[in-house]
Amino acid sequence: MAAWPEGIGRDLLGTVDSTNAEALRQAAAGRRAPGWILARAQSGGRGRRGRAWSSPEGNFFATYLGFPEGGPQMAALRSYAAALALRDALVEVTGRAPLFSLKWPNDVLLSGRKLAGILLEHTAEAGGALAVGIGVNLRHAPTAGALEPGALLPATLTEAVTPAPTPEAFLDALAPAFDRWDRQLATYGFAPLRTAWLDNAARLGEVITAKLPDRAITGIFESIDADGSLVLNTEAGRVTLAAAELHFATEGRV
């Protein structure tokens, strides 16, 4: 296992409302040092679009607080650094690389089911703070009844390795991996991350549906572009989407 990255803090907390919320509070209070905030449990965990994130003790809830240069666009690309780092950490603790794939824009799958999610929150205040929140179902998964219609079925890491690592041990694998990809992004730009992400993308080359607030677009998942946007090849031509909810075929869904 790689050493903890130099200059990166590590805060281990009990129960918080949300590690992202805690990270942004610390930034608003004057913190300017990058670091990880890990909680034993969350009372108000959240995912994308304000959805609740199930947060029982034993799962992984952590946020990387950083202050990257480059503005909101570069900050948004950290989701790809986080996804690649998550996959690296999962492979490290299980030794089972073929099980894990990446779902655009911010999920990691185990055998086609949702194992982990990423939530980025960026603010121009507080030194341009970026909170990269990560949740992983190490031991527990939400019940099917708690999921939205059409959502991917959940998975837990215990399906790939028993016992699953503790949250602290998983952070020991994740933090160096994130540091590597984050440095690549800062040094070389998005191109190497784009290539690596596409090498591990779920359903690349297959028909998927991208749902927007006012419509749904079905097409072949062709690629992601130089800005990280989704590229679909549809009957009406190529479509590029900066944000959407992806839905796959019925297999692995509720």
- CATH 3.30.870 assigned to domain 207-247? The reply is no
> Domains of the chain: which residue ranges?
9-199, 207-247
Tens-level pLDDT at each residue, the chain (254 residues):
799 999 999 999 999 999 999 999 999 999 999 999 999 998 876 655 555 555 688 999 999 999 998 888 889 999 999 999 999 999 999 999 999 999 999 999 999 999 999 999 999 888 899 999 999 999 999 876 666 666 789 999 999 999 999 999 999 999 999 999 999 999 999 999 999 999 999 999 999 999 999 999 999 999 999 999 999 999 999 999 999 999 987 545 44
Non-local (6+) Cβ contacts of 134 within 8 A are 60, 61, 62, 63, 64, 82, 86, 116, 117, 118, 119, 174
Distances from the Cα of 76 to the Cα of 44, 45, 222, 229, angstroms: 23, 20, 21, 11
**pTM for the predicted model, two decimal places:** 0.93
pLDDT in tens, 210-224: 999 999 999 999 999
At the second CATH level, the architecture of 9-199 is 2-Layer Sandwich (3.30)
Please report the pLDDT score of residue 124 as a whole number.
84
pLDDT in tens, 221-239: 999 999 999 999 999 999 9
